[in-house]
A and B are shown apart, each in its own frame.
Chain A
Amino acid sequence: MAESDMRLEHSGHEPDSQSDWVTGLHPMDVLLRGERLPHIWCQGCGLGTALTTFIGALQWLEKNQNWDLDKVSVVSGIGCTGRIAGYIRLDSFHTTHGRAIPFATGLKLVNSELKVVVISGDGDIAGIGGNHFIHAARRNLDITVICVNNFNYGMTGGQSGPTTPHGARTVTAQYGNFEHPFNLPYLAAAGGASFVARWTVLHARRLEWTLREAMMHSGFSFVEIIAPCSTSYARWNLEGRGLDPQKLGRRGLEVMKHYQQVGKIGHDTHPKDAAIKVNEKGEINAIVEGVFLNEPKPEFRAAIKHKTQIAKERWSAAKKVLDARLKLPGRNDVVERTEVQLGGFGGQGIMSAGRIIGQAATLYDKIEACFTQSYGPEARGGAAGSQVVVAGEPIHHPHLIAPTSAIIMSQEAYVKYVPNLTSNGTLLIDDGLVTLPEDHRQDLKTYGIPATQIAEELGNARAANSAMLGFWAAIVGAVSQAAMRQSLADSVPPKTLEVNLKAFDVGFDKGVEVLK
């Protein structure tokens, strides 16, 4: 049926009677939102053909491959092509400019039963959405991306875009486009797409066959459709030049005629060689068409699913550790706010030591603790620092105001943190690593053990922090020995559990000794 007749038929209906439209007027009507017609596209525009071939392919799949079209989602971005989502009677999403592909990614990943098709224009997919395009191709996500390429931004009036041929004219390239266009099939293939094809709308039947194939393909499939933009692009370039601006339909036909002259079928052409060829004025003189790439390749959703089993095994192991945690009664004596500064260098386990104190306090002594660590540049370059506040009451201020004790395991940390300690505070050092300077603060209670040496003798230098923790637990007493041991056991790799507990005990005993 001619478009003008459709308009007559459809005018004046209310959206209420959606089903009225399904009257068998045309076999494709069931897949069109009749109440949304007439469409907004210009006469002579290639988008009508693009939509028709798409619908044709879907109907073929429904009939011959038992596709349930309820399971097909169409996602579009913004632009003339983007309006396709609004005309097709399927679940359809008209998203933001360039973002159809990530939206489609979410749909497909959640429900792999869905067949998700993105249809959008060249500006949308290769311009503003270019990043999403290459990344979806890289993932080989099982969606189909149909890009209708008309070499310019049609909806906004015909500006240059990422596919405008070099030398061609547009409203923003009146002296000829000085940029170079993308070769979209090559871009898709280089990104990792496993199905890549191109047709002009002139080859409507072949295009439809390819669309079927693309949608059936498992993995990322990309089909470029070259289509006339009769209003904008054709106005400035060879195909439409000299034609009456009122006769858009005619202009579109001229472009189609031109496609007939320059189009060449070349299945299996290397995508690299599929660039659209132009003369120095940007006039197209060769368009190679066909299916360039169709290769089996592991699909993304399946790759994700594959990892689930490993993840679940990891969970079972973690759960076992959690289930093995002791149930301690907690302490009920008064615990004053204790602020602990830990400092040393990377690899000594300064972070985990602070965390172990906090965890011991909250989970096993059932008092409060807040653990924070230094992030960013400060935490790089070797120096490491962490802080923990332990208290019998809720901790409002999470930072150390005046540290009451410190565990210091490097000279650098000594210099950095010791000045902040509160008067009469307790300083614990690994005295194999830290030398007290002559002007060491006399107002502090300073105790040292050769923690690293102790750990080395036990067979693992990395257990030095455990020795310091034992030492701290005995001397400061803000967290109980039992709680500390359990927290330590939760936190170290099972293989090193024994040596860490031993180091802790040695440190603890030394602490008890020192206090005597």
Chain B
Amino acid sequence: MSDKGLLTGEHFLLGDYAAAEGAILVGCRFFAGYPITPATEIAERMSTRLPQVDGIYIQMEDELASMNAILGASWAGAKSMTATSGPGFSLMMENLGLGIMLETPCVLVDVQRGGPSTGLPTLVGQQDMMQARWGSHGDYEIIALCPSSPQELFDLTIRAFNLAEKFRTPVLVMTDAEIGHMTERVVIPQPEEIEIINRPQVRKGDVEPDHFRIYRDTDTDGVEGTVSPMAIAGEGYRFHVTGLIHDELGYPAMNAESSEWNIKRLVNKIRAHRDEIIQLEEQNLDDAEIIVVSYGISARTSQWPIEQARKEGIRVGYLRLITIWPFPEKRIIELAKRIRAFVVPEINMGQICLEVERCAAGQAQVLGVNRLGGDILEPQQVLSAIRKAAGRSDQPQTDLQNRQTER
């Protein structure tokens, strides 16, 4: 046990609570949110825990306000977070865009439930995966991570903050109702055992305010995709930031050249560091003829069918996308050249499946395994798809199998 209100050691912890504890351990001291199932427990935990570590919890009037409040908090120097689910995620899209445009570090946890609209408030879905990528208008790159257990929800919340701070951008943790509402062992390390990254920042007096560029194009090396130091409010830089297309000073610059500069800057700072951001878990890929590509709860429930299929002599590999965005294109393209098929189980109509198809580009078959929210995938569904991909015959299965979409 550590003092200063930090929880450490081994706990039997609800997934949503694990997200909150991860945030607190990495230094999050501001949470703004709005109640929504199944993300509410994150807010509840934060409301109890943040005051214990001199942090601020506030329930805002809606998700638009929540997202904006965490941006304001970040510009005042705090590591900040919000958490929501489908309908609230939609409302947050507006100011997620502002966060990206202003280059504001912060973390948004989406505990996905079935949609669209009010959908299935208490039941699982993985239907926001494309919204995570493209949900706010305009061109940008986003970082999104996808945990498969409460422990990983804890770990990835920490990583999300580190990536947010490093790249000065909002980072999404795309979890789901199943993981969020699941209680399992969560091991919380001592604070000094985890990596904590803080934003590049100028403090009062570091730079002559007149020479300070809040969106300096390149660092001294002139490397593209570098992240320029941020100033925070109250340090004497008297900077300006805007959601308009802007120049290095943060001033509105409404023309095509500035737009090109501005958007490329937002996109490149992530693209240039793809290899560092992308995290995958791989099993048995060397000899694989079939690869199950999945993420979150669906990756986890694919483990048993994969073991089963290997017992049946099918050479199946497992590729779990811990980072969903940016998408691990390079790896999929590479694998597509030497395997027979990808099987993509997910609790939606086939969203990440589209990305796998794009990268496979006809070189390998792509089979989606889908369930449309409300419950996790049946192991049997995934097993059948693997058999089918391998050209094996399949025993008659449950009617759920009929929902399988062949692509």
Decide if A212 is an interface residue (CB 8 Å cutoff).
Answer: no
Cα–Cα distance between A59 and B8 once the two chains are bound (Å): 50
- B27-71 contacts to A (CB < 8 Å): 29-30, 32, 37-38, 48, 51-52, 54, 56, 58, 60-62, 64-66, 68-71
Q: Does A294 contact B (CB under 8 A)?
A: no
Whole-angstrom CA separation of A81 from B333 in the bound complex? 50
Tell me the chain A residues, 11-49 only, with Cβ under 8 Å from chain B: 15, 18-19, 33, 35-36
Task: With CB as the reference atom, state the residue of chain B lying closest to A98.
Answer: B64
9-residue interface stretch from B72-80, B262-270, B279-287, B346-354: B72-80
Given contacts A33-B240, A106-B70, A312-B52, is CB(A362)–CB(B12) below 8 Å? yes
Measured CB to CB, the closest approach of chain B to A124, in angstroms, equals 13
B65 to chain A, nearest CB (A): 4
B152-190 near A? 1/0 per residue, CB < 8 Å:
000000000000000000000000011001111100000
In the bound complex, do residue A70 and residue B65 qualify as a contact, i.e. CB atoms below 8 Å apart? no
Interface of A is mostly: helix
Check: A66 CB closer than 8 A to any chain B CB: no
Interface residues in B, total, Cβ within 8 A: 76
Q: Tell whether A363 pairs with B185 under 8 Å between CB atoms, given A91-B238, A135-B61.
A: yes
Asked if B60 and A135 sit within 8 Å, CB to CB, the answer is yes
Rounded to whole angstroms, the CA-CA distance of A377 and B374 in the bound complex is 13
- List residues of chain B with CB within 8 A of the CB of A94: 240-244, 252
Mark interface residues in A74-106 (1 if CB within 8 Å of B CB, else 0). 010000000001100111111110110111111
A106, B242: Cβ atoms closer than 8 Å? no
Whether A71 contacts B241 in the complex (CB less than 8 A), given A135-B60, A376-B37, A397-B301, comes out as no
Question: In the complex, what residues of B have CB within 8 A of residue A398's CB?
Answer: 178, 182, 297, 300-301, 376
Proximity bits, B197-211, A CB within 8 Å = 1, else 0? 000000000000010
Q: Confirm or deny: B361 has a beta carbon within 8 angstroms of a beta carbon on chain A.
A: no
Partner of A314, one of B48, B95, B97, B304: B48
- B303 and A396 form a contact (CB under 8 A): yes
* Set B12, B97, B303: member contacting A355, Cβ < 8 A: B12
Check B249 for interface membership: any CB of A closer than 8 A. yes
Residues of B within 8 A of A75 (CB): 72
Which residues does A use to contact B, with CB under 8 Å? Answer: 15, 18-19, 33, 35-36, 70-71, 73, 75, 85-86, 89-96, 98-99, 101-111, 113-114, 131-132, 135, 304, 307-308, 310-312, 314-315, 319, 322-323, 355, 358-359, 362-363, 368-373, 375-378, 395-399, 401
Residues in B lying within 8 Å of A, measured CB to CB: 1, 5, 7, 9-12, 29-30, 32, 37-38, 48, 51-52, 54, 56, 58, 60-62, 64-66, 68-78, 80, 94-95, 97-98, 102, 121-123, 177-178, 181-185, 210, 231, 233-244, 247, 249, 251-252, 297, 300-301, 303-304, 376, 379
Given contacts A103-B75, A135-B65, 17 further A-B contacts (CB under 8 A): A94-B244, A96-B95, A102-B66, A103-B69, A103-B71, A105-B65, A106-B30, A106-B80, A135-B61, A312-B5, A312-B51, A371-B184, A372-B181, A375-B37, A375-B122, A375-B177, A398-B300
